[in-house]
Chains A and B, each alone.
Chain A
């Protein structure tokens, strides 16, 4: 629980500064600092367990099916990193309070910083690889917010985007690597993964997994060739740089390599890739740090260089190398955070970070100068400062390895060269800025900053000296824990300033002398390097990004070109691609079911149906003809339902057919009258081919189904229809009883569609032609007398028929759906014959209400069964004897069917009456006659 609290406190606390946004800045600072301090205290408490030799863990099952759990552990490695994150975080918060100008939004800054802090803590304490990855990506996102904090500056935005693209992209590679590791090890829990190192290293997928994980680590830790995002991230406010580039963001990659060293490390692949990448980064960073004129640029490249050093040590992988790596992580965090803060102070006080302008600041900023000398000395690796010790250990490890056989000597040589460069840029940092003549053209006149702004730097400088003088006293215990977590053995630590005259000491001396020599000869170096055209990584990156965007744009343009026809065609082609292989793979098309003989009626019907369908398609440009053909199709479909023993369907289809054709004729009135152009031959050929293939596939499927014997679940319905539902018409009993819930959903859909149509017709100003396409005006007689008379006579008859169909529905073909449609059709006939006004005058009823009442009745019939302690929609029935009628069944299902009946009437009339009204309400004026 404590561990979860450490991680989640900053996340929860991130909201505090925002809540205090209207208060003075001090409130946000204090709230952020308090959260950090609280987290730190909990960490201290939890750390007692770690120091006692145990590994405190926290486990909460989250998504067991994915192997993802909220699991944290606090071993030595996690403790080392978590401590750095929280302590430096706290100091950065204090520093930022003074650094941010009054125009900057401090609450937003602290909120993002806390988010970032929580994500980092999550990475280092996670006990589950996927959870760790989750936090890993969170750091990418929160660092994006921090780097782009000054979002009004274009270089901040660009730097943030680049950092996000590179580290986020690396994160995806890492995810792939983690998934591979997890599938090999069988779990994402860290203890399982750590225990199955042998298995993973011998697996076929080891190399892909290693490369993917390293891609994640190298991008995050700005290793060559992914180093270019880090200098551009310097567009961030300096406290952010101090935090991200000393102890946190870039160390996440280092952490990952250290964490997985027992699993992935020790193989030739690991050693070669990681060591050489580290070495290349070390040299590359150190060289460019020397050339940079921007203070923060110098520090950025020096960070890259030091990260390379740590990476190289992890690549070597021996216990001594791991000790040196862990020790250097602490040391680098201390002096680099201090140096960034000093750069921030200089920037803050002088208004410039350009080392060509800055010089001779020793008089104006004497105190800052002392701090700068201390931290730079630590960075350069001068004796008595902490950097010296870890650099000595680095030299010793570089000297001791025998990785490259006869060529192994080049590693210590290049390491010494790197250290020389490191000395040179450290000297440059101090000498260029604080010594030489006093600068006169600075934007601001410098003064010492407030004490509290210097205080964090003082603490860092103190750490540099204290660790440098008494390394064992301050760090031995923590280092032992951290190293044993990585190397799985308890190391014998022997860190001392003086080990006698040996090779590492000689290398240190060489580095110091060489470094000073390089600094003195730096103008030559600058001239030399000027020959190469400065190729900015930003431009290359921008070019890649714009090329990718262009490609995506073109692809989208091609696929999504605004043609709906094309989209439909794509979907259909995709369907074919999915279905065709399946059909090819069935052994035999024809099944074993005995087939029916073809009778003459069926044959004629089928031929008519096909002819009508083909005519509908071919004559589609003559819309009325096409519509008439469609109605033929619908009629024959309902006849085939009759033929194939489905009377209910036949009746439903017949009435629906009539109603939809009326609707479409109405719609035709509003459609353009001109006959549209014919499609091009190419397109027709394409569509015929596509349609033919789909039709062929559907027909084949249907044939395959029809000829196969089957075992239906319907026997249950047939057996229980009378005893359970009280009706002999099984179709109707299924609708209102067995599957009543489905029917309820269906009438709800019908009602919703009707409501949608009602809304669509609202405020519609349709195109209404005042004459037909040849200019002939519409006929004057709207409602012919013959139709009027017949329609009025038909209405009571139709109502009676529908009542009959409704009542008998439970036992014989019929029911609510059909009866509702019959009633609706009879009503529509009145509208056609007599017009909307006439009907409205006699039957002024709101169809929306009717529809809702219908759905309500159906719903409450279902709810009613709760009153009798039954499940929703349980029906009950009894038989009563009526005079004249005889024995009659009374079932609650009939109430439900009544709901269906009313809904169908309401919805159908809502659609048609509303739509029909459009033609009468603003009927165009008739001229001529």
Chain B
């Protein structure tokens, strides 16, 4: 199970990094969002994988580690704030300069890098 989990997190990271390396703002925002999922899964797993338990005192014999969960819970909310901010920033840039390309205007590397 641990192997599967690690592979999944790695795949998620790889896909989001690929998206972040694109030249348009929308895929980048999607990439950032997905990267935050990957990071949350990673951080969450520092409490190790436990099945069929619950971090509630008295509900089960050996409770899972509640600390990573508390950290990830706020991370999810903050991640939402960041996603929202970056997407609105992208919309604003599109409104200001009429393009959603993230590279500089003068950047003239003519190899269809979008």
Contact = CB atoms under 8 A, between A and B. Distances in A.
A686 B22 CA distance: 11
Interface stretch (A60-68, A145-153, A449-457, A640-648): A640-648
A470 interface: no
Interface string A537-571: 00000000000000000000000011111001100
A597 B1 contact: yes
Query: Chain A, interface size: which category?
Result: 35 or more
A712 B34 CA distance: 28
Contact of B107 (A561, A603, A728, A731): A561
Contact of A613 (B1, B11, B46, B104): B11
Interface string A707-726: 10010111001100110000
Contacts of A602: 1, 4
A634 B76 CA distance: 11
Contacts of A680: 111-113
A300 to B, nearest CB: 46
Contacts of A644: 44-45, 49-51, 64
Given A609-B8, A691-B15, A714-B65, A645 B77 contact: no
A490 interface: no
Contacts of B102: 564-565
A817 interface: yes
Contact of B81 (A623, A682, A721, A754): A754
Contact of A753 (B82, B103, B105): B82
Interface residues of B, number: 95
Contacts of A656: 76-77, 79-80
A730 B55 contact: yes
Given A671-B90, A717-B66, A817-B74, A613 B85 contact: no
B63 to A, nearest CB: 6
A271 B5 CA distance: 70
B53 A645 contact: yes
A572 to B, nearest CB: 7
A211 interface: no
A218 to B, nearest CB: 44
A706 B7 CA distance: 12
B6 A817 contact: no
A610 B8 CA distance: 6
A742 interface: yes
Interface string A417-434: 000000000000000000
B37 to A, nearest CB: 5
Given A564-B102, A633-B34, A695 B13 contact: yes
A617 B19 contact: yes
Given A730-B63, A753-B81, A668 B3 contact: no
Contacts of A659: 80
A121 to B, nearest CB: 50
Interface of B is mostly: helix
Contact of B77 (A561, A640, A904): A904
A713 B65 CA distance: 9
A765 interface: yes
A698 B85 contact: no
A626 B33 CA distance: 12
Contact of B30 (A616, A683, A743, A757): A616
B19 to A, nearest CB: 5
A915 interface: yes
B66 A734 contact: yes
A596 B111 CA distance: 48
A355 B100 CA distance: 68
Contact of A742 (B20, B74, B95): B74
B12 A613 contact: yes
Contacts of B12: 609-610, 613, 633, 695
A880 to B, nearest CB: 21
A643 B95 CA distance: 43
B14 A696 contact: yes
Contacts of B7: 606, 610, 699
Nearest to A654: B76
A924 interface: no
Contacts of A641: 44
Contact of B69 (A643, A649, A915): A649
A677 B101 CA distance: 12
A622 to B, nearest CB: 11
B19 A620 contact: yes
Nearest to B30: A630
Contacts of B13: 691, 694-695, 698-699
Contacts of A714: 47, 65-67
Interface string A225-242: 000000000000000000
Given A595-B3, A706-B45, 4 more contacts: A610-B11, A633-B12, A722-B58, A813-B56
16 contacts: A565-B23, A593-B48, A613-B12, A623-B26, A644-B51, A645-B64, A656-B79, A671-B94, A676-B114, A700-B10, A702-B6, A705-B45, A729-B56, A731-B66, A760-B92, A911-B88
Interface of B: 1-27, 29-31, 33-34, 37-38, 40-42, 44-59, 63-67, 69-70, 72-74, 76-85, 87-92, 94-95, 98-100, 102-107, 109, 111-114
* The 7 residue pairs across chains A and B that have the minimum distance between CB atoms: A699-B10, A695-B14, A562-B104, A703-B6, A753-B81, A730-B66, A596-B1
